[in-house]
Amino acid sequence: MIGAIIGDAAGVFAAESKENIKDLGKALEGSHITGNTVVSLAAAKGLKHGFGNTRKTGVKVGKYFKELVEKYPDMGYEDKFTDWVSDYKGELPPAPYNTVTPDAAVRASSAAWVYNSLEYVNYYTGIVTHVTHKSSEASKAAVAVTSAIFLSRQGIDKKDIKAYLEHHCGIKLAGALDSTGPEQDKQGGDGADESGYAPIAAAVNAFLAATDFTDAIDRAVAAGLSTKDPEKELPAIAMAAGAIAESYYPVPSDLKEKALALLDDDLKAVLDSYETFLKKIRKDREKKFDLLFDCRPFFDKRGKTEWYAPKPVGDEKPFPYPKYGSEVQYLEEIALDKDFADYGYEDTLKHFGIEISAQSIDEHIDIANAYVLRSMLTAIIRHERFVDGTIAEAIRTGTISRILAQLAVKIRPGMF
- For the chain, give the mean pLDDT: 88
CB atoms within 10 A of CB 171: 24
Q: How confident is the model at residue 334 (pLDDT cuts 50, 70, 90)?
A: confident
Q: How far is CA 376 from the centre of its chain?
A: 20
Contact present, 271 and 41 (Cβ < 8 Å)? yes
Please, is 142 exposed, middle or buried when counting C-beta atoms within 10 Å of its C-beta (0-12, 13-18, 19+)? buried
Alpha carbons 272 and 44: distance in angstroms, whole number: 11
**Lowest mean pLDDT segment, chosen from 248-257, 378-387, 405-414:** 405-414
Helices within 18-157 (DSSP H only):
24-29, 35-49, 54-71, 79-86, 103-106, 111-114, 118-130, 136-153
Q: How confident is the model at residue 175 (pLDDT cuts 50, 70, 90)?
A: low
Contact present, 376 and 368 (Cβ < 8 Å)? yes
pLDDT at residue 176 tops 70: no
> Please, what's the b/e burial string for 321-355 (b: 16 or more CB within 10 A of its CB; e: otherwise)?
ebebeebbebbbebbeeebbbbbbbeebbebbebe
Mean pLDDT of 154-176: 83
Structure confidence at residue 24 (pLDDT): 94
Q: Which of 178, 119, 174, 175 is nearest to 147 (CA)?
A: 119
Please, is 18 exposed, middle or buried when counting C-beta atoms within 10 Å of its C-beta (0-12, 13-18, 19+)? exposed
**Amino acid present at 37:** T
Contact present, 242 and 220 (Cβ < 8 Å)? yes
pLDDT at residue 74 tops 70: yes
Would the pTM count as exceeding 0.85? Answer: yes
Q: Which of 236, 255, 249, 252 is nearest to 158 (CA)?
A: 249
pLDDT at residue 186 tops 50: no
Q: How confident is the model at residue 40 (pLDDT cuts 50, 70, 90)?
A: very high
pLDDT at residue 329 tops 70: yes
Helices within 131-252 (DSSP H only):
136-153, 158-168, 198-209, 213-225, 230-246
